[in-house]
Amino acid sequence: MNNRAGEMEVFVQAVRSGNFSAAGRRLGLSPSAVSKVITRIEDRLATRLLVRSTRSLKLTAEGEAYQARALRILADIEETERLVAHGADAAPRGRLRVSASIPFAVHHVLPRLPDFLARHPGVELDLSLSDDVVDLIEERTDVAVRAGPLRDSALKARKLCETRHVVVASPGWIDRHGLPARPEDLDRRNCLGFNFRRSLNEWPFREPGGGAIRSLGITGNFTTNNGETVRGMALGGLGVARLARYHVDGDIGAGRLVPLLEDWNPGDLSQVHAVFVGHAHLAARIRAFVDFLAD
């Protein structure tokens, strides 16, 4: 076996099987042939990918990176051949790995997923929710739904929506602490923050009448790593929160949360994108899901 894709398949099977003998049985090769392929890859790359013992295989850091990329390449090859064999209009199918920010997923993606899966019964959806920014290649993720500014990268992005932010508190909290009249009044109030991005704990305000925007550092007795938990604490009356409108519009409409300091709102917009690794032969399942989100 002297082609790169074939070598990748041997490597992937060896890792999945845990030893060369089991991988060889799956591939119709001898254990020594599997070992020679792995050695040939390592010699060409001049790095160790696997740590071998008599009973198991363990990936090195370089091996983990090679495994992640090999899986994506083999999946792309399979998808490309399927498209050629069955036409570009063939029904999307296969496992679709999606990572989404928790607030946007809870309020806008999850309610629509049954419809997507009903339209595309051949798709197996593997969904992870996190407000952390995942590495699509390392995490073997097909599509990530991200809120906020995008980092410069080779990834493709499709804008899904944009929204401004709003400072909110529950009616119960307002009854106990009163309405803040100016941003400086928040210095004496409990503000709910995030523990992973310092910029989210500096809230921007604009002087009424179109003045300059300035940032106010907020403090409080609660921080967390996702907006949905912040929303829950605000609903429970713990303190003041600043969240995207798409996150709390329903709560504001129902009277569960009340906007504060709207005269000072700078109107800054936060965008939500679907991010994916783009290339000429984008998998049908990925294209279908991105189109579905955008629609």
Q: Is the pLDDT of residue 39 over 70?
A: yes
- Cα separations (Å) of 225 from 2, 78, 194, 242? 47, 37, 6, 14
| pLDDT above 70 coverage of the chain, percent | 90
Q: How confident is the model at residue 156 (pLDDT cuts 50, 70, 90)?
A: confident
Query: CATH second-level architecture of 94-161+271-294?
Result: 3-Layer(aba) Sandwich (3.40)
**Which residue ranges make up each domain of the chain?**
4-86, 94-161+271-294, 163-268
pLDDT value of position 53: 72
Q: How confident is the model at residue 154 (pLDDT cuts 50, 70, 90)?
A: low
Q: Single out the residue of 131, 143, 139, 137 nearest to residue 284, CA to CA.
A: 143
For residues 139-165, one letter each, b for 16 or more C-beta atoms within 10 angstroms of the residue's C-beta and e for the rest, the string is ebbbbbbbbbeeeeeebebeebbebeb
281/201 Cα distance (integer angstroms): 41
pLDDT value of position 94: 85
Q: Which residues have a Cβ under 8 Å from the Cβ of 167 and sit 6 or more positions away?
A: 203, 240, 241, 242, 259, 260, 261, 265
Mean pLDDT in residue range 104-124: 92
Mean pLDDT in residue range 226-242: 95
Same fold, 94-161+271-294 and 163-268: yes
pLDDT value of position 208: 87
Which of the two residues, 26 and 220, has the higher pLDDT score?
A: 220
Query: Structure tokens of 97?
Result: 């790995």
Q: Is the pLDDT of residue 260 over 60?
A: yes
Which of the two residues, 119 and 210, has the higher pLDDT score?
A: 119
Q: How confident is the model at residue 253 (pLDDT cuts 50, 70, 90)?
A: very high
Is the pTM for the entire model greater than 0.75?
Answer: no
> Beta strand 269-276 with 156-169: parallel, antiparallel or unpaired?
antiparallel
Classify residue 222 as exposed, middle or buried by CB count within 10 Å of its CB (0-12, 13-18, 19+): middle
Mean pLDDT in residue range 180-209: 87
DSSP string for residues in 269-291:
EEEEEEEE---TT--HHHHHHHH
Mean pLDDT in residue range 205-218: 87
Query: Is 4-86 a domain of CATH 1.10.10.10?
Result: yes
176/84 Cα distance (integer angstroms): 66
Q: Which CATH superfamily is domain 163-268 in?
A: Periplasmic binding protein-like II (3.40.190.10)
| Average per-residue pLDDT for the chain | 86
Q: Which residues have a Cβ under 8 Å from the Cβ of 242 and sit 6 or more positions away?
A: 165, 166, 167, 168, 191, 200, 203, 218
Which of the two residues, 167 and 157, has the higher pLDDT score?
A: 167
Query: Structure tokens of 189?
Result: 């109030």
- Cα separations (Å) of 217 from 36, 85, 173, 186, 211? 59, 58, 21, 9, 19
Q: Single out the residue of 207, 217, 214, 212 nearest to residue 263, CA to CA.
A: 207
pLDDT value of position 1: 44
Q: Is the pLDDT of residue 87 over 60?
A: no
Mean pLDDT in residue range 111-120: 93
Dump strand ranges (E) for 17-137.
50-52, 57-59, 94-100, 123-129
Mean pLDDT in residue range 184-189: 92
pLDDT value of position 271: 87
CB 23 within 8 A of CB 13: yes
Q: Is the pLDDT of residue 183 over 60?
A: yes
